[in-house]
């Protein structure tokens, strides 16, 4: 089979089981080979090869809606729906997305990247289908990790109550990114060993039907027996009590099991949950043997050895620097407890967890819960360190307002992956946190210019006991600057002049400082002296420094690798306006009012105009305008 020639999944109907098994192996080697160059979510996708093929054989996509939860495991789906030929561009600028995208294929019926949305989306589609009197299957595929997300449980509750015809496929590989956690994970563990309960129930029913009816008594006994069978055989009662017909657990790599159970599921009225047990990374030893989530999402690697191919000058990740700094401070401060919503590996907490196993709390994919656990800890005098990607912090918005800031609790939030993240695209760009945080009373928000300032900020945050304080930091590696041995507390709300100048002032922070300094240097050639200020406290602003710029009528350019609407630049505009400087020249550069797709961060920065050349051009244009107006 030439994978590149596949246009749609209809060909699957005519394949024998042997041919399907050959196709599985072909897709596996295609994935292993292609992803060794592009990187991507190799583990999750190797685990769903047979499942995806079986789903596309049992259902008629896109009439039947196959919905991928998180969506990181959609590569096989993309191969079967005519996109194998695009995989060389996977997760690259203007290339194939690593998640479902409606503009790529009609088979991508739901876009995602954040976990636990598939069941709610399925419910919405089911309500629409039934209101319109249409007839098609709706099949959300959710992982055991995603099932721990609050939204998923809210949806299970609703679907079961409404008895909607939805076939939930639970892809259980016992892994979130790292090994899965929580009570639900334990229930699934018991289920995995429960054997084929449902078949026994059907055989029993068939048997009882053969016994001549002796009136309600027998039927009642039979019903009670059937129910006790259910209780006897499975803890899947968790799902059955929610109103689902539970099937499984079945072997998600066995076509006979898959086809037989999908046939049952299609014939069953009301909500069904088919529990499929798979092996994450199946078919590639390094990924199969991965115990901690290293092969969940990777960069390029050497196929033969499984060694990752890192850039030559690779320096430690920002997450590592931050987590290790907090870990060091935790040695002398027992109040410190780290909380992560299922991102132990991404947030580089392994070392911290090894040294202080009871002081690193992985709550599962549960960002709302994580934020309020942190709040609860702070009420008891602890110093919780909530480490969370900017994009996933969006899930905890109400908890930030209602629980942490309103009660003014001493929570330290490490906002990881702040700014453009690159390959994960729109659903993961960490560009909204400034806009959704800075208007919340009591919060301090800061961003370091480099890893040395970061460690001082972390020390400041741990010492800070006037309420919530957040430090945002980017994805990727640190700069490699020298680290001070002695940490000091930074005065809250103070900025730092990095370069003097009187013709123009650039206010910026974090990752856009280097380009600002580069632009200032280039502007000197045009006789323009540009002040560059490290506006490291996004909230509160350094009002003294800002006031002096305004008072001395120095035109201002704010630059942020964050959404412009409601961002840092907006706060400078508000300050100027509120303090009577309504005619002061203030220009803003940042992420425009649209979602930014996947691609290398350098390309994305260029696309949105965040380059030193564009800064130069902007300031030159503004000065020209000022001269004309004078
Ligand atoms: C709201 C949210 N939080 C965290 C993540 C990061 N994340 C991506 S995949 C994943 C684990 C998903 O586990 P599971 O659903 O079991 O899928 P598997 O990778 O095992 O196939 C996590 C935590 C996310 N995408 N969305
Ligand atoms: C699919 C998902 O949400 C995670 O796997 C995410 O891609 C991790 O991002 P990092 O690679 O930045 O840790
Ligand atoms: Mg899983």
Q: Is the dihedral of CA 39, 44, 47, 50 positive or negative?
A: negative
* Percent of residues, the chain, with pLDDT higher than 90: 88
Gap from CA of 61 to ligand 3 centroid (Å): 24
- Determine which one of 65, 164, 280, 327 is catalytic: 280
Q: Does the beta carbon of 475 sit less than 6 angstroms from any atom of ligand 2?
A: yes
Q: Which domain range does residue 504 map to?
A: 497-629
Give how far the C-alpha of residue 214 lies from the chain's centroid of Cα atoms, to the nearest Å: 58
Are 240 and 202 found together in one domain? no
Per-residue model confidence as pLDDT tens digits over 111-144: 999 999 999 999 999 999 999 999 999 999 999 9
Active site residue 472: no
Per-residue model confidence as pLDDT tens digits over 512-529: 999 999 999 999 999 999
Are 78 and 203 found together in one domain? no
DSSP state of 156: H
Would you state the pLDDT for residue 197?
45
Per-residue model confidence as pLDDT tens digits over 203-238: 666 666 665 654 556 556 656 665 555 554 454 788
Q: Does the beta carbon of 72 sit less than 6 angstroms from any atom of ligand 2?
A: yes
Angle at 57 between CA 55 and CA 63, to 5 degrees: 80
Angle at 388 between CA 600 and CA 606, to 5 degrees: 20
Give how far the C-alpha of residue 628 lies from the chain's centroid of Cα atoms, to the nearest Å: 48
Is residue 294 in a domain? no
| Residue 144 marked in a binding site | yes
Would you state the pLDDT for residue 584?
93
- pTM value? 0.93
Is residue 484 in a domain? no
Are 64 and 85 found together in one domain? yes
What is the average pLDDT score of the chain? 94
Tell me the C-alpha distance between 612 and 306, whole Å. Answer: 38
Is residue 96 in a domain? yes
Query: Is a pLDDT exceeding 50 seen at residue 273?
Result: yes
- Determine which one of 395, 438, 475, 539 is catalytic: 395
Are 273 and 180 found together in one domain? yes
Q: Does the beta carbon of 430 sit less than 6 angstroms from any atom of ligand 2?
A: no
Tell which atom from ligand 1 comes closest to the C-alpha of 146. Answer: 15
- Of the listed ligands, the closest to the CA of 345 is 2
Are 534 and 604 found together in one domain? yes
For 570-579, the CB contacts below 8 A with 24+ separation are 570/435, 571/438, 571/538, 571/539, 571/541, 572/507, 572/541, 572/546, 575/541, 575/543, 575/546, 576/546, 576/550, 579/547, 579/550
Active site residue 280: yes
**Considering its fold, how many domains does the chain have in total?**
4
Is residue 311 in a domain? no
Query: Is a pLDDT exceeding 70 seen at residue 201?
Result: no
Query: Is a pLDDT exceeding 80 seen at residue 569?
Result: yes
Are 249 and 269 found together in one domain? yes
Are 67 and 215 found together in one domain? no
Of 35, 176, 297, 349, the one to substitute when testing ligand 2's pocket (max ligand atoms within 8 A of C-beta) is 297
Is residue 358 in a domain? yes
| Residue 197 marked in a binding site | no
Is residue 464 in a domain? yes
Dihedral angle of Cα 419, 424, 428, 434, to the nearest 10 degrees: 10
Are 353 and 413 found together in one domain? yes
DSSP state of 88: G
Angle at 231 between CA 230 and CA 234, to 5 degrees: 75
Are 405 and 363 found together in one domain? yes
Per-residue model confidence as pLDDT tens digits over 327-342: 999 999 999 999 999 9
Gap from CA of 254 to ligand 2 centroid (Å): 29
Angle at 153 between CA 152 and CA 155, to 5 degrees: 65
Q: Does the beta carbon of 340 sit less than 6 angstroms from any atom of ligand 1?
A: no
Are 439 and 532 found together in one domain? no
Tell me the C-alpha distance between 268 and 398, whole Å. Answer: 39
Would you state the pLDDT for residue 236?
76
Q: Does the beta carbon of 114 sit less than 6 angstroms from any atom of ligand 2?
A: no
Query: Is a pLDDT exceeding 90 seen at residue 629?
Result: no
> Which CATH number belongs to the domain containing residue 464 in this structure?
3.40.50.970
Mean pLDDT of 596-611: 98
DSSP state of 525: T
Ligand 3 is an ion; residues with CB less than 5 A from it: 143-145, 173, 175
Q: Does the beta carbon of 177 sit less than 6 angstroms from any atom of ligand 1?
A: yes
Contact between residue 177 and residue 281 where contact means Cβ atoms under 8 Å apart = no
| Residue 369 marked in a binding site | no
Gap from CA of 589 to ligand 1 centroid (Å): 33
Q: Does the beta carbon of 114 sit less than 6 angstroms from any atom of ligand 1?
A: yes
Of 142, 344, 428, the one to substitute when testing ligand 2's pocket (max ligand atoms within 8 A of C-beta) is 428
Contact between residue 261 and residue 274 where contact means Cβ atoms under 8 Å apart = yes
Q: Is the peptide bond before 540 cis (omega within 30 degrees of 0)?
A: yes
Are 229 and 263 found together in one domain? no
Tell which atom from ligand 2 comes closest to the C-alpha of 475. Answer: 12
Would you state the pLDDT for residue 196?
46
Gap from CA of 279 to ligand 3 centroid (Å): 9
Q: Is the peptide bond before 234 cis (omega within 30 degrees of 0)?
A: no
Active site residue 348: no
Tell me the C-alpha distance between 36 and 307, whole Å. Answer: 10
Q: Does the beta carbon of 143 sit less than 6 angstroms from any atom of ligand 1?
A: yes
Is residue 2 in a domain? no
Mean pLDDT of 408-417: 98
Per-residue model confidence as pLDDT tens digits over 454-493: 999 999 999 999 999 999 999 999 999 999 999 999 999 9
In Å, the largest CA–CA distance within the chain is 103
Are 229 and 239 found together in one domain? no
Per-residue model confidence as pLDDT tens digits over 174-198: 999 988 888 888 888 777 755 444 5
Q: For 271-283, give one letter per residue: b (16+ CB within 10 A) or e.
A: bbbbbbbbbbbbb
DSSP, residue by residue, 22-87: HHHHHHHHHHHHHHHHH-B-HHHHHTTHHHHHHHHHHS-TTTSEEEESSSTT-HHHHIIIIIGGGG
Is residue 491 in a domain? no
Dihedral angle of Cα 260, 263, 264, 267, to the nearest 10 degrees: -170
| Residue 115 marked in a binding site | yes
Count CB atoms within 10 A of the CB of residue 340. 28
Q: Among residues 472, 507, 539, which one ends one of the domains? A: 472
């Amino acid at each position: 089979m030439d994978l590149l020639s596949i246009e749609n999944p209809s060909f699957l109907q005519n394949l024998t089981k042997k041919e399907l098994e050959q196709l599985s192996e072909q897709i596996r080697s295609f994935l292993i080979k292609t992803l060794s160059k592009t990187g991507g979510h190799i583990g999750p996708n190797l685990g769903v090869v047979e499942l995806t093929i079986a789903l596309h054989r049992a259902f008629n996509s896109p009439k039947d809606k196959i919905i991928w939860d998180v969506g990181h495991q959609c590569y096989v789906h993309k191969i079967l729906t005519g996109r194998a030929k695009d995989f060389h561009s996977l997760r690259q600028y203007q290339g194939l997305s690593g998640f479902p995208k409606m503009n790529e294929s009609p088979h991508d019926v739901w876009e995602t990247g954040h976990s636990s949305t598939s069941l709610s989306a399925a419910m919405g589609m089911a309500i629409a289908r039934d209101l319109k009197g249409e007839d098609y299957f709706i099949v959300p595929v959710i992982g055991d990790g995603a099932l721990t997300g609050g939204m998923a449980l809210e949806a299970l509750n609703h679907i079961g109550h409404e008895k909607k015809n939805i076939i939930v496929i639970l892809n259980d590989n016992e892994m979130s990114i790292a090994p899965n956690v929580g009570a639900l994970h334990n229930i699934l563990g018991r289920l995995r060993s429960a054997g084929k309960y449902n078949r026994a129930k059907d055989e029993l029913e068939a048997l009882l039907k053969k016994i001549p009816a002796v009136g309600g008594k027998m039927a009642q006994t039979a019903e009670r027996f059937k129910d006790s069978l259910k209780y006897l055989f499975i803890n899947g009662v968790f799902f059955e009590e929610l109103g689902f017909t539970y099937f499984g657990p079945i072997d998600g790599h066995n076509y006979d099991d898959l086809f037989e159970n999908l046939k049952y599921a299609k014939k069953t009225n009301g909500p069904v949950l088919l529990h499929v047990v798979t092996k994450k990374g199946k078919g590639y030893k390094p990924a199969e043997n991965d115990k901690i989530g290293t092969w969940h999402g990777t960069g390029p690697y050497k196929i033969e050895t499984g060694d990752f191919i890192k850039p030559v000058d690779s320096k430690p990740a920002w997450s590592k620097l931050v987590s290790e700094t907090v870990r060091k401070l935790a040695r002398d401060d027992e109040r410190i407890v780290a909380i992560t919503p299922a991102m132990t590996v991404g947030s580089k907490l392994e070392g911290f967890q090894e040294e202080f196993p009871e002081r690193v709390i992985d709550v599962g994919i549960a960002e709302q819960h994580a934020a309020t656990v942190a709040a609860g800890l702070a009420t008891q005098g602890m110093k919780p360190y909530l480490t969370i990607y900017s994009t996933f912090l969006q899930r905890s918005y109400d908890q930030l307002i209602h629980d942490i800031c309103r009660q003014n609790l001493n929570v330290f939030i490490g906002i990881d992956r702040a700014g453009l993240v690159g390959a994960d695209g729109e659903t993961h760009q960490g560009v909204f946190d400034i806009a959704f945080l800075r208007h919340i009373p009591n919060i301090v928000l800061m961003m370091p210019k480099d890893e040395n300032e970061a460690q001082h900020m972390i020390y400041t945050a741990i010492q800070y006991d006037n309420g919530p304080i957040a430090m945002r930091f980017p994805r990727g590696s640190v700069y490699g600057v020298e680290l001070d041995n002695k940490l000091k507390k930074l005065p809250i709300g103070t900025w730092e002049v990095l370069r003097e100048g009187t013709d123009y002032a650039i206010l910026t922070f974090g990752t856009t400082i280097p380009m600002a300094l580069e632009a200032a240097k280039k502007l000197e050639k045009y006789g323009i002296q540009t002040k560059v200020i490290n506006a490291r406290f996004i909230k509160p602003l350094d009002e003294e420094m800002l006031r002096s710029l305004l008072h001395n009528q120095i035109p201002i350019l704010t630059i942020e690798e964050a959404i412009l609407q409601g961002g840092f630049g907006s706060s400078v505009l508000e300050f100027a306006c509120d303090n009577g400087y309504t005619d002061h020249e203030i220009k803003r550069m940042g992420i425009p009012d649209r979602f930014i797709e996947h691609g290398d961060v350098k390309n994305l920065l260029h696309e949105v105009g965040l380059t030193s050349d564009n800064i130069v051009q902007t300031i030159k244009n503004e000065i020209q305008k000022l001269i004309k107006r004078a």
